[in-house]
């Protein structure tokens, strides 16, 4: 993987992670690096899922693939916030 590919993956991960945080209600006190990691993983898994279902190769914007990615990111954020709430990520 090239440096450009890594930077692109991090930017996409940050955007997908941020969209996932917007979907989850309430305040999520998780670090930005964790949001980025969740976003990168959600983007990869969402693409794999879209390809498995057969909706990844469309002309134009792949809205279904993006939806899968954002939903997976939201699930990841909710899971981390739920687990992190007991470990000190959230401040009350």
Whether 81 maps to a domain, the answer reads yes
Residue 51 belongs to a domain: yes
In a domain, 30, yes or no: yes
Residue 16: inside a domain, yes or no?
yes
**Residue-range definition of the domain harbouring residue 37:** 3-86
Q: Give Cα separations from 57 to 44, 45, 63, 78, 86 (angstroms).
A: 15, 16, 11, 29, 41
Around Cβ 85, how many Cβ atoms within 10 Å? 13
Tokens, residue 65: 């693939």
pLDDT tens digits, 16-35: 999 999 999 888 888 888 98
For residue 92, tell me if it sits in a domain: no
Q: pLDDT tens digit string along 38-92?
A: 999 999 999 899 889 988 777 877 888 889 999 999 999 999 988 876 555 545 4
Entry pTM:
0.80
Separation of alpha carbons 92 and 44, rounded Å: 33
In a domain, 66, yes or no: yes
The count of domains in the chain is: 1
For residue 67, being part of any structural domain is answered with: yes
């Amino acid at each position: 993987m090239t440096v450009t590919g890594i930077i692109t993956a991090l930017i996409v991960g940050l955007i997908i992670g941020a969209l996932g945080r917007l979907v989850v209600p309430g305040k999520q006190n998780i670090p930005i690096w964790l949001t980025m990691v969740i976003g990168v993983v959600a983007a990869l898994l969402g693409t794999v899922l879209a390809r498995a279902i057969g909706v990844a190769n469309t002309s134009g914007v792949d809205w279904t693939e993006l939806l899968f990615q954002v939903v997976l990111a939201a699930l990841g954020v909710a899971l981390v916030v739920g687990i992190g709430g007991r470990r000190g990520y959230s401040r009350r």
